[in-house]
Amino acid sequence: MSNMEHTRESWVDVLVIGAGPAGVMAANALARNGVKIRIIDQRPDKVAAGQADGIQPRTIEVFQSYGLADRLLKEGNQMHMAAFYNPGPDGGIQLSERAPDVTASSARFPFEITLHQGAIEAIFLDSMRSLNVEVERPVIPSSIEISADQAILNDPEAYAVKTVLKHVDNAAEEQTEVVHSKFVIGADGAHSWVRKSLDIPMEGEQTDYVWGVIDMVPDTDFPDIRKKSAIHSNNGSCMIIPREGDMIRLYIQLDDKNLMTNGRVDKSKIGPLQLLEVARKSFHPFYFGTPEKFDWFTIYIIGQRVASKFSVEDRVFIVGDACHTHSPKAGQGMNASMNDSHNLAWKLTHVLKGYAKPILLKTYEFERRKYAQDLINFDKQFARLFSGKPRTKPDEDGVSHEEFLQAFQTFGGFTSGIGIRYLESVITNTTHQSLASNLTIGQRILPQVFLRAADGRPYEIQDLLPADGRFKLLVFSGDTTQGGPLQNLMAFSTALKPVLSSLVSEEKIFDVFDILVISSATKTTVNHNRIPLFLRSHWSKVLIDDSDVQRKQGGGGYANYGIGEEGALVVIRPDGYVGTVTPLQKVEELEAYFSQFM
């Protein structure tokens, strides 16, 4: 009577498997770009508490580029400061130092945000809902098959992947569906079914470090309970991560080998009260009461592994924890995962819309696997420092405060996500780096306030470069109130139009490219109407490098970017990273860049 089977068939451009942070980031980005997608998850509901929770400065910028940072900033806790505790002379811990939590000086949002994973996912789910995309759940994939026909594989328009899904709903029926898609994104976590189905091995190993985690509203006289605090005591290490509301998370080092069963940690062997008991020993002499309840707890052993490849036939891609696992204390997990999807989504969009060649998709693994490996290497060093015994005398073994603090600061560019740099590829060309010497090609564009020429309103440039799937051409023109630069700009405009028309049909130019002119004229002299019409699709597209009328922000952008009065064309990729810089006088170099993949 039950388990009546129905099979239906359907077609979609992209099927996203898994609705965790990586999955919803991918689905939302693709849907925003107008790609037909579906997203499924085997969990009946979204996460309610616990799990990953730290959002790094670069990830906040990425949220902002999707128009989603406001809610994150409003709902989340902001960590601005870190505190470091070490053993004091009387055996208990004492404060060694308070320092900025974020040391990357160019971070636009110079803090980390903590917010539980369910709330973060909800931001994307609401955004997706406004685009008429809902997560289908509970839905379990049961098989996946990529076409072996080379003709099909060569045609990005072909539905080359067949995935069989089981819809498991409350009704007694189980429905089977065969989904034909052009691409599949496996965002299904550390135990990824997609990865296993495609026989992609994980490389790397498991560590010996066992940690416990408890979430609670604390009852304590510890002065730095609302800062990110690293506690190195003679009775073990702890880390405090303050959370939204009055909650905190405590990471607690455990050295009990009895917590292991068959090489995996066994959560049944310890509870939150025992974890708190272990933490209390580290916190001595500070008081730490027993909270009314624990909102969540877990124990885990750190595994440091990267998948051997991130895609199969450039048709199925894995993102997020499916590709890499590492320790949570450096707060990288959710960030790495969402940025995988952010990197992949625009590339899939351009191939699906026929703007770019499939070769563009190769850069996903190239860029993100390199990053994942760097992340593991960083994590190894950081986990060793964090889990190591504190050293308080010069001749002892262990980790000194100075060593730990230095590592914390040295790795700041990495842990904040701000320093991530993609290496030379078809989309990253450093030939003319010297024309914008401080704007590192392969890194995200440096924050800088410019004024809109027409109304003098200051704008952070990042806010004019949203993640809308378009390449942004920033035309640094020099001072357009002067005859020379204005004539050069006119010549550039005349030369640019046929180049862009050769890459995409003329009526689609502004679907693929957005053009902004950044003049070094001043707010008192500029006339935006003088800029050639092709370069100002709207009056808001002309900017100037000047301070605002209150002299509080803006100005010095050419210098900050290392651009001279001769100007430059800066290409910003749809994900906000600098793709290349070319001279205004040589439009053919711009053509050469784009024609590698378009």
Residues that bind its own copies (CB under 8 A): 70, 77-81, 98-101, 110-111, 221, 223, 225-227, 242, 246, 452, 454-458, 523-524, 527-529, 539, 548-550, 552
Which of 29, 79, 74, 75 minimizes the C-alpha distance to 54? 79
Nearer to its own copies, 107 or 436 (CB): 107
Nearer to its own copies, 67 or 398 (CB): 67
CB of 82 to its own copies, least distance (A): 9
Nearer to its own copies, 101 or 365 (CB): 101
- Helix (H/G/I), strand (E/B), else coil: 398: coil
**Which residue(s) pair with 254 in the sheet?**
210
CB of 412 to its own copies, least distance (A): 12
Nearer to its own copies, 398 or 456 (CB): 456
Per-residue three-class SS string for 247-273: CEEEEEEECCHHHEECCEECHHHCCHH
- Dihedral class, residue 373 (left if φ above 0, else alpha if ψ from -120 to 50, else beta): alpha
The H or E element spanning position 74 is: helix 69-75
Which of 307, 302, 303, 442 minimizes the C-alpha distance to 369? 307
Nearer to its own copies, 459 or 534 (CB): 459
CA distance 288 to 326: 29
Tokens of 559: 């210098």
Please provide residue 497's backbone torsions phi and psi, each rounded to the nearest 5 degrees.
-55, -50
Residue 64 · residue 463 · CB < 8 Å: yes
- Helix (H/G/I), strand (E/B), else coil: 102: coil
Cis peptide before 110 (omega within 30 of 0): no
CA distance 276 to 280: 6
Nearer to its own copies, 102 or 518 (CB): 102
Tokens of 338: 């969402």
CA angle 95, 97, 100 (to 5 degrees): 135
* Helices within 265-361 (DSSP H only): 272-283, 333-352
The H or E element spanning position 490 is: helix 483-503
Active site residues per annotation: 53, 243, 251, 328
What is the rounded radius of gyration, in angstroms, for the C-alpha atoms of the chain? 26
- Amino acid identity for residue 334 in this structure: M
Q: Which residue is it, tokens 């490389």?
A: 203
Tokens of 239: 């880390």
